[in-house]
Amino acid sequence: MFDALSTRLQSVFDKLGGHGRLTEDNIQAALREVRVALLEADVNFKVVRSFIERVKTKAVGQDVLTSLTPGHQVVKIVHDELVGLLGGSGHRLATAPHPPTVIMLMGLQGSGKTTTAAKLARMYAKQGQHPLLAAADIYRPAAIDQLKTLGAQLNVPVVGDASMKPLEICRKAREEAATRGLTPLILDTAGRLHIDEAMLDEVKAIKAEIKPHHVLLVVDAMTGQDAVTVAEKFNTAVGIDALVLTKMDGDARGGAALSVREVTGRPIAFVGVGEKTDALEPFHPDRLASRILGMGDVLSLVEKAQEAVDQKTAEEMVRKLRENAFTLEDFRQQLKQVRQMGPLDQVLGMIPGLGKMMKGGAAELAGEQKDLDRFDAIINSMTPAERTHPEVINGSRRQRIARGSGTSVSDVNRLLKQHAQLKKMMKQLKGMEGKLGRMKGLPGFPSLRG
């Protein structure tokens, strides 16, 4: 699973020849590559410098494990060290002894505070709590409307009035939360620069009076070297309890998170992975470490697959395999499961190594997504008998199906061919049922290539 960086390190060690033990000399060259990888991932250069020093002391003298090449060994050390630095996973925001628990969001303009506020509200509401949102951004036009619209979608009440001062809004919201028994109270504040004294005073005043239990700094994953300055200033001026890393659904490597974590010492609580209100995830340090090093995100992929594939369907599929009764209906079921994992380009982006290849292949991928839609339409245009016994589909039936689904006969042929191939492949797999049982999270991925 060690892709991009390890390939580069491989050439370094190839030049140096085989080594059973990492020495100061051979590791020096390797760490130069590590340094570039981290800088390209937007980790702050000062953080990189101290990090490299630490890794060097750790790595020198280590035996190269027999199962690994020296390049992999270095990546492993770097990876482990990164995971350690990024901190524990699943930092939970403790519930206050006396409700409401107050959570305050702050950050630069456009970092994603309002969206995060709505996502948090949804998460708590899903857990059976009754959150209250306070829209304290009176500066950006329609920011209060934005939170109110999101609140209405989620059935979460929102306090906010552009004619009131931000502190008054927060005060009113806390009173309302107390009288109506709502918790947690989530304060969405205006975006502000970390060097804007007047605006920092405003958020300090809110903090002093409302005393939020958790002050969350919202950081855009695409932030560059400046993340350190931003986090440092906010931390000194206001104080931060935890971090939220947003826009992680793009291809930013998210090195800013490491910088911010290093200068504030605060844990990363949540990660934002999309524009919709359900796109908030707990933080996993190992995944981010892999991503910073350009190694893809295999675990997220597996998890997504497990989410999408419901266990019953999977068992049913295994039974069908045994009986060798894999119909077109089953084929469609599988295509559906692949689609439930999200847009194909995102899913494939998580596979190590593919991230890079995808740069040129975006159009191709979009084509495959369209293929899936087309296959769905084609199967819809078949009679139930044709779906269970595709061998009856002759030339004239093919023409009818193509017309009915708005596709061409060659599309229909392609689908039938893929189904036949898959069926054949599964027949071969039957012999290895033991193995299949172990990977039931991912039952027989259909090949997307014709």
Partner 1 sequence: MSFFSGLKQRLTDGLRRSQELLSAELKTVFEPDRPIDDALFEELEEILIAADIGAALAADFKHRAKEEQMFGTVTRADQLRPLFRRFLVDTLAATTGTLDLAHQPSVLLMLGVNGAGKTTTCAKLAAQLKDDGKSVLLAAADTFRAAAIEQLQTWGARIGVDVIHQAAGSDPAAVVFDAVKAATARRVDVLIIDTAGRLHTKSNLMDELVKLKRVAERQLPGAPHESLMVLDAPTGQNGFAQAAMFHQAIGLSGLCLTKLDGTAKGGIVVRIVRELGVPIKLIGVGEKVDDLGPFDPARFIDALVPEA
Q: Does 247 bind partner 1 (CB under 8 A)?
A: yes
Q: Does 28 bind partner 1 (CB under 8 A)?
A: no
Stretch that binds partner 1, among 81-89, 244-252, 328-336, 422-430 (CB under 8 A): 244-252
With tokens 């620069």, the residue in question is 193
Cα separation, 176 vs 180, whole angstroms: 6
Residue 157: is the preceding peptide bond cis (ω within 30°)? Answer: no
**Nearest residue to 49 via CA among 264, 258, 257:** 258
Q: Does 366 bind partner 1 (CB under 8 A)?
A: yes
Q: Does 357 bind partner 1 (CB under 8 A)?
A: no
Q: Does 119 bind partner 1 (CB under 8 A)?
A: no
The answer to whether the CB of 186 falls within 8 A of the CB of 134 is: yes
CA 380 to chain centroid: 33
Q: Does 45 bind partner 1 (CB under 8 A)?
A: yes
Q: Does 105 bind partner 1 (CB under 8 A)?
A: no
Choosing from 14, 145, 168, 175, the residue that interacts with partner 1 (CB under 8 A) is: 145
Closer CB to partner 1, residue 99 or residue 224?
224
3-state secondary structure of 421: helix
The structure tokens listed for 302 are 């597996």
The interface mask with partner 1, positions 185-204, x = CB under 8 A, is --------xxx---------
The answer to whether the CB of 241 falls within 8 A of the CB of 214 is: yes
Name residues contacting partner 1, limited to 267-306 (CB under 8 A): 275
Closer CB to partner 1, residue 17 or residue 360?
360
With tokens 């400046």, the residue in question is 226
The structure tokens listed for 114 are 């309002």
Cα separation, 88 vs 391, whole angstroms: 55
Closer CB to partner 1, residue 35 or residue 171?
35
CB of 314 to partner 1, least distance (A): 28
- Tally the C-alpha atoms within 13 A of residue 433's C-alpha that lie toward its C-beta: 12
The interface mask with partner 1, positions 249-268, x = CB under 8 A, is xxxxx-xx------------
CB of 196 to partner 1, least distance (A): 9
Q: Does 244 bind partner 1 (CB under 8 A)?
A: no
CA 262 to chain centroid: 21
Cα separation, 241 vs 103, whole angstroms: 10
Closer CB to partner 1, residue 153 or residue 324?
153
Choosing from 8, 85, 172, 224, the residue that interacts with partner 1 (CB under 8 A) is: 224
Closer CB to partner 1, residue 227 or residue 436?
227
Q: What is the helix (H) or strand (E) element at residue 186, kind and residue range?
A: strand 185-189
Cα separation, 214 vs 242, whole angstroms: 7
Size of the site for partner 1 (CB under 8 A): 54
Q: What is the helix (H) or strand (E) element at residue 41, kind and residue range?
A: none
Stretch that binds partner 1, among 134-142, 180-188, 237-245, 385-393 (CB under 8 A): 134-142
Cα dihedral sign, 29-49-44-73 = positive
CB of 41 to partner 1, least distance (A): 7
Residues 6+ positions from 178 with CB-CB distance below 8 Å: 99, 100
Stretch that binds partner 1, among 67-75, 121-129, 133-141, 175-183 (CB under 8 A): 133-141
Closer CB to partner 1, residue 370 or residue 430?
370
CA 272 to chain centroid: 7
Choosing from 75, 86, 108, 133, the residue that interacts with partner 1 (CB under 8 A) is: 108
From the CA atom positions of the chain, what is the Rg in Å? Answer: 26
Distances (CA, A) of 100 to 132, 170, 267, 279: 9, 13, 22, 24
CB of 266 to partner 1, least distance (A): 19
CB of 133 to partner 1, least distance (A): 12
CA 161 to chain centroid: 34
Q: Does 222 bind partner 1 (CB under 8 A)?
A: yes
CB of 450 to partner 1, least distance (A): 20
- Tally the C-alpha atoms within 13 A of residue 82's C-alpha that lie toward its C-beta: 31
3-state secondary structure of 274: coil
Q: Does 18 bind partner 1 (CB under 8 A)?
A: no
CB atoms within 10 A of CB 69: 18
Stretch that binds partner 1, among 86-94, 174-182, 202-210, 359-367 (CB under 8 A): 359-367
Q: Does 380 bind partner 1 (CB under 8 A)?
A: no
Choosing from 97, 128, 141, 431, the residue that interacts with partner 1 (CB under 8 A) is: 141
Choosing from 10, 12, 31, 42, the residue that interacts with partner 1 (CB under 8 A) is: 42
Q: Does 140 bind partner 1 (CB under 8 A)?
A: yes
| Residues at the contact surface with partner 1, assessed by CB under 8 A | 36, 39-42, 44-45, 108-112, 139-143, 145-150, 153, 193-195, 220-227, 229-230, 247, 249-253, 255-256, 275, 343, 345-346, 349, 362, 365-366, 369
